[in-house]
């Protein structure tokens, strides 16, 4: 999250403009006008449109990571992992514009900075750690593979819901949860 209220206001307006008008409508001038500041303000905080997109990407992963980590206080590792997966789904559907910016960067025509990529990678490292606590029977490289499989399942279900949504919300979340549980039950030592 941003330290400055003005910086956060700019980020919030940029997300809104991106949602309403796509990448073509996301201009420094449009964000400045919506944020009651000059274009110089955008350049001061972000260095331009690329820096603004990068900040939106990093901010999205920071918020996403914190939201998905909230169940970490649950005592049972399986329950903790399943609840984190539910929260992944909930956050992605509640923040579709940021989610797409975070996971489909080519659509926004920008490359995240090395610092922002580290923030994104930390969220995956958290998933690996949660899987490791559940799948204590697996070697490290197998835990990493299991986490990648789980992430692919999570991302796939979310993208299907965001872009096809031919399934009602209740049916979709049920299918999503059954998929997560089925994946956790497979392997040398099912959960």
Q: pLDDT for 147-184, tens place per residue?
A: 999 999 999 989 888 888 666 777 888 888 888 888 87
Instruction: Answer yes or no: is pLDDT of 41 > 70.
Output: yes
pLDDT above 60 (res 11):
yes
pLDDT of 164 reads: 81
Q: Where are the domains of the chain?
A: 1-47, 55-185
Give pLDDT, residue 188: 46
DSSP 30-95: HHHHHTTS-HHHHHHHHSSHHHHHHHHHHHHHHHHHHHHHGGGG-S-HHHHHHHHHHHHHHHHHHS
In angstroms, rounded to a whole number, what is the distance separating the alpha carbons of residues 97 and 70? 22
What is the predicted pLDDT for the residue at 59?
95
Q: Is the pLDDT of residue 185 over 80?
A: no
Residue % of the chain over a pLDDT of 90:
63
pLDDT for residue 1 is more than 70 = no
C-alpha 153/C-alpha 159 separation (Å) is 10
| The most confident of 40-49, 137-146, 174-183, by mean pLDDT | 40-49
- In angstroms, the CA 70 to CA 57 distance is 20
Distances (CA, A) of 146 to 39, 109, 156: 46, 30, 15
- pLDDT digit string (tens) for 58-96? 999 999 999 999 988 999 999 999 999 999 999 999 999
pLDDT at res. 166: 67
For residue 119, the surrounding DSSP H or E stretch is helix 114-134
Per residue in 24-40, pLDDT tens? 899 999 999 999 999 99
**Which fold does the domain 55-185 belong to in CATH?**
Tetracycline Repressor; domain 2 (1.10.357)
User: Quick one: average pLDDT of 10-28?
Assistant: 93
Q: Which CATH superfamily includes the segment(s) 1-47?
A: Homeodomain-like (1.10.10.60)
User: How many CA atoms does the CB half-sphere of 184 hold within 13 Å?
Assistant: 23
Which of 79-101 are b and which e, b meaning 16 or more Cβ less than 10 Å from the residue's Cβ?
A: ebbbbbbbbbbebbbebebbbbb
Phi and psi torsions of 96, nearest 5°: -60, -35
Span 110-132, mean pLDDT?
Answer: 94
């Amino acid at each position: 999250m941003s330290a400055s209220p003005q910086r956060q206001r700019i980020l919030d307006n940029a997300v809104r403009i991106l949602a309403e008008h796509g990448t073509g409508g996301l201009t420094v001038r449009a964000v400045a006008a919506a944020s009651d500041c000059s274009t110089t303000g955008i350049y001061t905080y972000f260095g331009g449109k690329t820096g603004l997109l990068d900040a939106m990407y990093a901010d999205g992963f920071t918020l996403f990571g914190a939201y998905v980590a909230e169940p970490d206080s649950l005592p049972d590792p399986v329950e903790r992992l399943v609840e984190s997966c539910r929260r992944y789904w909930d956050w992605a559907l509640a923040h579709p514009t940021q989610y797409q910016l975070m996971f489909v960067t080519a659509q926004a025509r920008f490359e995240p900075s090395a610092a922002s990529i580290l923030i994104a990678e930390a969220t995956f490292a958290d998933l690996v750690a949660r899987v490791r606590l559940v799948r204590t029977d697996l070697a490290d490289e197998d835990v990493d593979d299991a986490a990648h499989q789980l992430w692919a399942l999570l991302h796939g279900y979310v993208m299907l819901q965001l872009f096809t949504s031919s399934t009602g919300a209740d049916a979709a979340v049920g299918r999503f949860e059954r998929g997560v549980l089925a994946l956790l039950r497979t392997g040398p030592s099912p959960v």
